[in-house]
Amino acid sequence: MDAWYWWMILGMAIVTYIPRAIPLTFLEGRELPKPVQNVLRNIPYAVLGALIFPAIFFIQENIWFGVIGATAAFGLAFSGANVMIVVLGSIAVLAGFSLLL
């Protein structure tokens, strides 16, 4: 990959570090407005929703990979499995599927 990759890493490092460092160093004791706090709190869940859909269906050209993979992942997650099992289990299901093809 090219030089842009290293600039991107630098940028990612900076924008990741800033929200971690500012409150601990400069904003001691100050509070953000309540609505802002609430919206920030919503972001992790919203971003996961947007990340999963619709991209999960298009992981391979064959759409069945996405459909079966998504079903396996949600099935495992709803059954209460932890993240590691959800990841490994979904991979195992798709590995079985692609061997059948």
Partner 1 sequence: MQARDFSAGLKAGTSIAIGYFPIALTFGLLAKTTGLTILEATAMSIFVFAGAAQYISLSLIASGVSPTVIVLNTFIVNIRHFLMTASLNEKMEPDSKWKKALYAFGVTDETFSILATGKGNRIPTAFAAGVILIAYGSWVTFTAVGHRVGASLPLFLQAAMSIALYAMFVGLLVPSMRGNRKVVMLALTAALFNSFFYFTGLLATGWAILVATLASSIFIEIVYARKGKS
Q: Within 3-42, which residues bind partner 1 (CB under 8 A)?
A: 4-13, 15-17, 19-25, 27-29, 31-32, 35, 37-42
CB of 64 to partner 1, least distance (A): 12
- Report which of 101, 30, 94, 26 is spatially closest to residue 65, judged by C-alpha positions: 94
Number of residues this chain uses to bind partner 1 (CB under 8 A): 78
Say how many residues make up the chain. Answer: 101
C-alpha span between 91 and 29 (Å, rounded):
46
Ranges within 51-80 binding partner 1 (CB under 8 A): 51-56, 59-60, 65-66, 69-70, 72-74, 76-78, 80
The token duo for 11 is 């940028």
